[in-house]
Amino acid sequence: MFWRMLLKASIVAALSAFPAAAPAQQLVNGYEPKWWKEAVVYQVYPRSFQDSNGDGIGDLPGITSRLDYLQKLGVAVIWLSPHFDSPNADNGYDIRDYRKVMTEFGTMADFDTLLAGIKQRHMRLIIDLVVNHTSDENKWFVESRRSRTNPYRDFYIWRPGKTAPDGTRTPPNNYPSYFSGSAWTLDPKTNEYYLHYFAAKQPDLNWTNPKVREEVYSLMRFWLDKGVSGFRMDVIPLISKPTGMPDLTAEQLKAPPNAYANGPHLAEYLREMNHDVLSKYDDMSVGEATGTTLAQENSLVDDRRHELNMIFNFDAIKLGRSDFGPSQLGSWSLPELKAIYDAHATVLTKHDWDTVFLSNHDNPRIVSTFGNDSQATRVPCAKLFETMILTLRGTPFLYEGDELGMTDYPFKKLEDYDDISIKNAYKAEVETGKISAADFLAAQAKVSRDNARTPMQWNSSPEAGFTTSAHPWLAVNPNYKQINAEQEESDSASVLNYVRALIKLRAGTLAFVYGDFKDLDPQHPQVFAYTRTLGKEQYLVVENFSSSPVHYTLPESLKAATLLLSDLPDSHEASTSTLNLGAWESRIYKQ
Ligand code: NOJ
């Protein structure tokens, strides 16, 4: 099929690269204007972005060397996944020293250079705050496990566990870990169990201890004082543990995150953190809200509560899949996906703010998961999802490679993976005979987090220009010769050029930020059509979520007036009320 990007030059040329923020205090459609509401955020997974020293691992100087690319893409904020000193049991989500840069990624001077380069280009940087747990190699835990009377003992959660009459020891309760097995490990030195919701090398901090909280606030100030603009907060609803930590019931065991999250002191801790730290800076905070339902969202982000600015709610990204343990790729329907966004529009008030995302370093690639990554449809499909993410209500978060339409990796065997969660699950599921190796590997290939972590595809040179090493830490997707930034740069119909135009369009159109959202046809099985309206300005977005063309008749009051962005020319339309949409085609009109 002949794909062509159509861009109405006269309209787009008038748009500036950055949104014209409304004057402070003046509400826009009832919303308080904020830079982080108007920003497009781009997540960088440092290990996979760009290697600068040939060791096969991405690093900070590598990111610095790609800042012009990110500036040209038009994103306003970069979210950097953990860059701190870590033994990498979970690729940096296990922090050994919060004030040191991971050796493989560079030095503090490299961080400062990166930050300066970001600011120089009028972008901002947010970093990952991982404080539900640390590494077991963090000095606090090294001390804590030394003796029951160590001053740091109470920095973590220690329990004696249970002892049967025959002397057998069992964990204090039946909590399962996100990464398989029990969430408790017996430490022989002091003969007590410590809690770890994730790997045994990621002990959970004890937030009831005010000294722990003070340490966390202090390290937050350290990075904010350096000039970062806020935090993405890892599994933040888990920091307050359930009262008494009783066994999970059979029902709760079906979805442990719902039982682990939003404990009794969460609001108190977040308010304290906001009061003592966040409120003192011009920053943004976005909480990764595992185990949190939409109904609980207001209680974290309502701006009158002074807790977090936004959270990631997983309803859409995990559609048909579980947020816990080794899952399967589930089935889903378009009305179900639309119902999630419709519910967000209903439940969230003008005091709340949302995020929109379908990708991150913990999930497989968008086109492979939600769309169709075949050669014929990958490009329009990637464009469609970016169109949706950048025109729905909420701050959009893009993940590295989305802008190229990168796809899942053809994983075959266990050795192809790096992820600790897969390795642990293999031991727990396959080696105990619960599932065959073939079935396990077939399911994981479609949902594995490593799908998102394969190196960025920069060009068609060996290892996609990611590294000069012949051994990148995770294999490059073999499709890099066809899918890479350099090739897309020179192709006016590429996903990359489309996403640039889309970000520019959004950046200059406050209706996409603060405008009301209306789903025009919630039950349509193939088409997602909606409007964004701000005062007299209205935009219409129409997306064909299928590989078959569709004739779509707009509701009566609407006309497809001025086409702003699309893959195909609209000259073949019979009328402005019936649209002939090609496979996975998306369009944006101004009414
Ligand atoms: C969520 C992070 O996104 C994920 O990568 C990590 O494994 C867990 N939290 C534990 O930190």
Respond yes or no: is residue 234 known to be catalytic: yes
**What does the alpha-carbon distance between residue 119 and residue 487 come to, in Å, rounded to a whole number?**
28
**What does the alpha-carbon distance between residue 75 and residue 502 come to, in Å, rounded to a whole number?**
11
For the chain, the farthest-separated pair of C-alpha atoms sits apart, in whole angstroms, at 82
Q: What is the mean pLDDT of residues 200-219?
A: 98
What pLDDT does residue 212 have?
Answer: 98
Determine which residue's CA is closest to atom 10 belonging to ligand 1.
Answer: 93
What pLDDT does residue 557 have?
Answer: 80
**What does the alpha-carbon distance between residue 535 and residue 548 come to, in Å, rounded to a whole number?**
35
Mean pLDDT of the chain: 94
**What does the alpha-carbon distance between residue 156 and residue 196 come to, in Å, rounded to a whole number?**
9
Confidence of residue 15 (pLDDT cuts 50, 70, 90): very low
**What does the alpha-carbon distance between residue 28 and residue 364 come to, in Å, rounded to a whole number?**
36
Per residue, the 3-state secondary structure of 407-447, as one string, reads CCCCCCCHHHCCCHHHHHHHHHHHCCCCCCHHHHHHHHHHH
466 Cβ inside 6 Å of ligand 1: no
Confidence of residue 575 (pLDDT cuts 50, 70, 90): confident
According to DSSP, residue 215 is labeled H
507 Cβ inside 6 Å of ligand 1: no
Question: What is the architecture, at CATH level 2, of domain 516-590?
Answer: Sandwich (2.60)
Active-site annotation holder among 104, 110, 128, 234 = 234
392-418, pLDDT tens digit by residue? 999 999 999 999 999 999 999 999 999
3-state secondary structure (DSSP) of residue 182: strand
Which atom of ligand 1 is closest in space to residue 421's alpha carbon? 7
Confidence of residue 325 (pLDDT cuts 50, 70, 90): confident
pLDDT at residue 566 is higher than 90 = no
284-300, pLDDT tens digit by residue? 999 999 999 999 999 99
What pLDDT does residue 2 have?
Answer: 33
| Nearest alpha-carbon partner for 309 in 291, 296, 317, 297 | 297
Question: How far, in Å, from the CA of 234 to the mean position of ligand 1?
Answer: 6
Written as six digits, the tokens of 183 are 């969430």
Write the Ramachandran bin of 479: left for phi over 0, alpha for psi from -120 to 50, otherwise beta: alpha
Q: Are 361 and 453 in contact (CB under 8 A)?
A: yes
257 Cβ neighbours under 8 A, 6+ residues apart? 178, 238, 290, 291, 323, 324
Burial of residue 189 (CB within 10 Å: 0-12, 13-18, 19+) is exposed
pLDDT at residue 326 is higher than 90 = no
User: Candidates 132, 233, 234, 448: which one to mutate for ligand 1, based on the most atoms within 8 Å of Cβ?
Assistant: 234
234 Cβ inside 6 Å of ligand 1: yes
Which atom of ligand 1 is closest in space to residue 179's alpha carbon? 7
**What does the alpha-carbon distance between residue 112 and residue 121 come to, in Å, rounded to a whole number?**
14
pLDDT at residue 315 is higher than 50 = yes
**Number of other residues whose CB lies within 10 A of the CB of residue 23:** 7
**What does the alpha-carbon distance between residue 40 and residue 37 come to, in Å, rounded to a whole number?**
8
2 Cβ neighbours under 8 A, 6+ residues apart? none
483 Cβ inside 6 Å of ligand 1: no
Domains 139-195 and 516-590 share a fold: no
What pLDDT does residue 4 have?
Answer: 38
Give me the CATH topology for the region 139-195. Oligo-1,6-glucosidase; domain 2 (3.90.400)
Q: What is the number of residues in the chain?
A: 591
What pLDDT does residue 6 have?
Answer: 42
Determine which residue's CA is closest to atom 2 belonging to ligand 1.
Answer: 234
What pLDDT does residue 360 have?
Answer: 98
**What does the alpha-carbon distance between residue 20 and residue 535 come to, in Å, rounded to a whole number?**
16
What pLDDT does residue 321 have?
Answer: 87
Greater pLDDT, 561 or 309? 309
Question: How far, in Å, from the CA of 290 to the mean position of ligand 1?
Answer: 10
198 Cβ inside 6 Å of ligand 1: yes
Active-site annotation holder among 90, 288, 419, 450 = 288
Q: In what order do the strands lie in the sheet with 184-187?
A: 158-159, 192-195, 184-187
The residue assigned the tokens 């014929």 is 376
What pLDDT does residue 160 have?
Answer: 97
328-378, pLDDT tens digit by residue? 788 999 999 999 999 999 999 999 999 999 999 999 999 999 999 999 999
| Nearest alpha-carbon partner for 227 in 61, 365, 108 | 108
What pLDDT does residue 1 have?
Answer: 32
**CA-CA-CA-CA dihedral for 370, 372, 373, 376, to nearest 10:** -150
Domain segments of the chain: what residues? 35-132+210-417+452-503, 139-195, 418-447, 516-590
3-state secondary structure (DSSP) of residue 587: strand
**What does the alpha-carbon distance between residue 374 and residue 377 come to, in Å, rounded to a whole number?**
6
89 Cβ inside 6 Å of ligand 1: no
Q: What is the mean pLDDT of residues 450-468?
A: 98
What pLDDT does residue 14 have?
Answer: 34
Question: How far, in Å, from the CA of 202 to the mean position of ligand 1?
Answer: 10
For residue 170, the Cα-to-chain-centroid distance in whole angstroms is 36
**What does the alpha-carbon distance between residue 578 and residue 574 come to, in Å, rounded to a whole number?**
7
H or E element at residue 119: helix 108-120
**What does the alpha-carbon distance between residue 458 and residue 466 come to, in Å, rounded to a whole number?**
7
The residue assigned the tokens 């690269």 is 17
What pLDDT does residue 394 have?
Answer: 98
93 Cβ inside 6 Å of ligand 1: yes
pLDDT at residue 143 is higher than 60 = yes
Respond yes or no: is residue 288 known to be catalytic: yes
Question: How far, in Å, from the CA of 93 to the mean position of ligand 1?
Answer: 6
Would you tell me which CATH number, out of the four given (3.40.50.10300, 3.40.50.720, 3.20.20.80, 3.40.50.450), belongs to the domain 35-132+210-417+452-503?
Answer: 3.20.20.80
90 Cβ inside 6 Å of ligand 1: yes
